[in-house]
């Protein structure tokens, strides 16, 4: 039987996707859940796994094709179909070494071979203007042999390179005899040194390139003489969201003249909603950068040019004849050891988990990504960004995926191992500080000095957006704040009793935040004016039918507010899982534009950093935002149940509601806060577990 692999739904407004890379070919055996291909949409890049084990029978959507959601990508044959799959051709024998270089007088009489290479594969003819197949100039020795594919690789009959397409129509069919097919070209000819001795008669060692490089050499690209216009590709700014029309180049990861591979990140772009990397559409040389760092480009604008020739305005410098060797990248700067993160005081309200504590050293963060050496394993842009944000060298990570591919789990394991080493180093530190400074409490370590002291830096796109929207919110809405005090002792006791079992069942910590969220959305149902929005120009007030709760998350890049949709329909467990998922995806940079839109009310937990309360600014066009302060124990006056009073130690916190007085009156705000307070102090949360 056979199984069809179709493009799944990848978001609410995503209707199609582009096949960017096939990880498997027809005839390959795949396991269940093994990645088959990579698909790019307007919002996310993702891998499509195999739904079943078997053999790939057909690929229906080639690379760079656009497929609608539900469209057929490929067909996998299982069991019987796998047995009927054609057996791959045996590897072809290695090509013999190149013959000894002919004397200069015989160079002009060079004749191409009359039989195709082994394996039945006829190379495509050289492109116009290339030096492939041309007679070598007098006095120039023939270069070393260049094999088409890795050692032991035999191109199957009818194979065409996915990178270069099918041969021209007038070229002979693969495996067919030809009177004079073009020969494999020599390496780029260079003038010999004046006193150079004749080339030795012994054959020079063959240099084995990868498949793409071999086809490029056969097509005359490798010896094209540095033509900047040969086989160029424009790198454009893609659509990064429904309402995103432009982006700012924050950092170039490659410089003009650098070699780049297909899908290798070229630059980082920041928009109002997301930060992302732009990969190279083709392998070659970065010839031109058209948009510099900190410049803004519209969607569709050309950012750079990648081609097979030399960079624009670059002049090739002749060199003395020498054996062709694989390029060795220049050594990069020595890695700067990261200082162990200083633990920060926090309560257990939940948002602190959304703040990453693994910032890379500034020097490492601004350094360009070094090209991989040897048989480099492809790394997706998301995984590469995750490793860079965590301060982990991607070259030091051992991939656990198919073919050694590095996956998200590998980066997370490397981060955990790095944290364990830092913790062990901190434990091993001698307690000399406590002896030298007896006034300092034991175990206290002051935070390290920031590297930003004494510097001036450009604002990021996200910081400029936050600045503009906060000022706009204060200037367009009549904002004020009301505060109430809440006794959350019952919730604290319930949480202490259930948190171990909750973590075992759900894999996350039970914090105070879902209790605050549940109480807030229940009060929003009773007082929808706090959940509403106003349009003065139209003279209307909109009361949403659902409670879409924004959760303010503090990140190193700035404040982001992902949205829990239909929060009013969720329980404590449901809210806990939704908030934890949003916090994790915010921390790892995996949010889509849809995750940041559609909120009707916002919850900000400034108590996670120890603040008692603050006066938060409304996330316009919403009409209110609730700030939750730190939960602290302090003595309060309580009723003893017999008409008397007593002083007891209770878990207390403050709720601060900022609201738009154009729509919400003070009495409305007080009623809403009282409802939240009553639910927190008297609600039956035990039934949610």
Six token digits for residue 463:
């910081």
Give the ranges where 191-325 is alpha helix by DSSP (H): 211-218
Q: How many Cβ atoms are within 10 Å of 454's Cβ, its own excluded?
A: 6
Phi, psi angle pair for 566, to nearest 5°: 55, 45
Query: Which helix H or strand E contains 265, and what residues bound it?
Result: strand 265-270
- Side by side, which strands form the sheet with 284-289? 233-236, 302-307, 284-289, 259-260
User: Partners of 635 in the beta sheet?
Assistant: 649
Q: How many Cβ atoms are within 10 Å of 165's Cβ, its own excluded?
A: 9
Are 601 and 660 within 8 A, CB to CB?
no
CA distance 153 to 496: 62
CA distance 155 to 89: 8
Half-sphere exposure of 121 (CA within 13 A, CB side): 25
Q: How far is CA 238 from CA 10, 285, 372, 588, in A?
A: 17, 21, 26, 21
For helices 572-587 and 513-526, the axis angle rounded to 10 degrees is 120
Residues in Cβ contact with 417 at an 8 Å cutoff, skipping those fewer than 6 apart: none
Query: Which helix H or strand E contains 248, and what residues bound it?
Result: strand 246-252
Q: How many Cβ atoms are within 10 Å of 9's Cβ, its own excluded?
A: 9
Going by C-alpha positions, the residue among 243, 307, 304, 305 that lies closest to residue 268 is 304
Chain centroid, CA 335 distance in Å: 22
Residues in Cβ contact with 153 at an 8 Å cutoff, skipping those fewer than 6 apart: 91, 92, 211
Residues in Cβ contact with 616 at an 8 Å cutoff, skipping those fewer than 6 apart: 481, 552, 602, 604, 606, 625, 626, 627, 656, 658
Q: How far apart are the first and last CA of the chain?
A: 45
Phi, psi angle pair for 18, to nearest 5°: -110, 130
Residue 643: which region, alpha, beta or left (left: phi > 0; alpha: psi -120 to 50)?
A: left
Active site residue ranges: 661, 665
Are 235 and 304 within 8 A, CB to CB?
yes
User: Partners of 249 in the beta sheet?
Assistant: 269
């Amino acid at each position: 039987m056979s199984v069809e692999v179709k493009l799944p739904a990848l978001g609410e407004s995503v209707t199609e996707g582009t096949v960017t890379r096939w990880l498997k070919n027809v005839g390959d055996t795949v396991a269940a859940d093994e990645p088959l291909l990579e698909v790019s949409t307007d919002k996310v890049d993702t891998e499509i796994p195999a739904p079943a084990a078997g053999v790939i029978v057909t690929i229906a959507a080639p690379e760079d094709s656009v497929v609608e959601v539900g469209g057929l990508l490929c067909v996998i044959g299982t069991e019987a179909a796998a047995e009927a799959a054609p057996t791959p051709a045996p590897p072809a024998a290695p090509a013999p070494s190149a013959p000894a270089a002919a004397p200069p007088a015989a160079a002009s009489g060079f004749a191409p071979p009359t039989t195709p290479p082994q394996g039945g594969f006829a190379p495509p003819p050289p492109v116009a203007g290339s030096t492939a197949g041309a007679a070598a100039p007098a006095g120039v020795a023939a270069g070393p042999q260049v094999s088409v594919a890795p050692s032991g690789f035999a191109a199957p009959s009818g194979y065409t390179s996915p990178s270069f397409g099918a041969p021209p129509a007038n070229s002979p069919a693969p495996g067919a005899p030809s009177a004079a097919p073009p020969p494999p070209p020599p390496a780029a000819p260079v003038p010999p040194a004046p006193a150079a001795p004749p080339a030795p008669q012994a054959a020079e060692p063959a240099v084995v390139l990868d498949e793409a490089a071999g086809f490029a050499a056969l097509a005359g690209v490798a010896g094209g003489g540095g033509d900047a216009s040969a086989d160029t590709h424009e790198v454009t700014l893609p659509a990064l969201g429904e309402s995103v029309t432009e982006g700012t180049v924050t950092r170039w990861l490659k410089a003009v003249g650098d070699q780049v591979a297909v899908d290798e990140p070229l630059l980082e772009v920041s928009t109002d909603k997301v930060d992302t990397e732009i990969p190279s559409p083709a392998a070659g040389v970065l010839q031109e950068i058209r948009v510099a760092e900190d410049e803004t480009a519209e969607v569709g604008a050309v950012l750079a040019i990648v081609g097979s020739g030399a960079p624009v305005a670059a002049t090739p410098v002749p060199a003395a004849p020498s054996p062709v060797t694989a390029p060795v990248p220049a050594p990069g700067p020595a890695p700067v050891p990261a200082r162990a993160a200083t633990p920060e005081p926090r309560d257990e309200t939940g948002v602190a988990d959304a703040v990453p504590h693994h910032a890379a050293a500034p020097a490492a963060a601004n350094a360009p990504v070094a090209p991989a050496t040897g048989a480099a394993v492809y790394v997706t842009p998301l995984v590469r960004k995750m490793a860079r944000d965590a301060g982990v060298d991607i070259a030091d990570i051992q991939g656990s995926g198919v073919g050694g591919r590095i996956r998200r789990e590998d980066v997370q394991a490397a981060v955990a191992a790095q944290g364990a080493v830092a913790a062990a180093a901190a434990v091993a530190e001698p307690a000399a500080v406590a002896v030298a400074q007896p006034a300092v409490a034991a175990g206290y370590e002051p935070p390290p000095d920031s590297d930003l002291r004494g510097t001036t830096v450009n604002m990021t796109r996200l910081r400029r957006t936050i600045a503009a929207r906060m000022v706009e919110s204060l200037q367009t809405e009549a904002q004020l704040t009301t505060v109430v005090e809440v006794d959350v002792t019952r919730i604290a006791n319930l949480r202490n009793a259930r948190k171990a079992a909750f973590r075992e069942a759900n894999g996350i910590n039970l914090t105070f935040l879902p209790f605050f969220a549940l109480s807030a959305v229940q009060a929003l149902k009773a007082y929808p004016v706090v959940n509403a929005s106003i349009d003065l120009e139209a003279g209307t007030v909109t009361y949403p039918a659902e409670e879409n709760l924004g959760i303010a998350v503090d990140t190193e890049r700035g404040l982001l507010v992902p949205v829990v949709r239909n929060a009013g329909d969720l329980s404590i467990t449901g809210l806990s899982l939704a908030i934890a998922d949003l916090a994790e995806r915010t921390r790892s940079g995996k949010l889509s534009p849809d995750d940041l839109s559609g909120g009707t009310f916002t919850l900000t937990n400034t108590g996670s950093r120890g603040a008692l309360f603050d006066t938060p600014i409304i996330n316009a066009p919403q009409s209110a935002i609730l700030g939750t302060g730190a939960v602290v124990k302090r003595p309060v006056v309580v009723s003893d149940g017999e008409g008397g009073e007593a002083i007891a130690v209770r878990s207390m916190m403050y709720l601060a509601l900022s609201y738009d007085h154009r729509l919400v009156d003070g009495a409305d705000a007080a009623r809403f806060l009282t409802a939240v307070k009553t639910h927190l102090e008297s609600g039956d949360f035990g039934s949610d577990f």
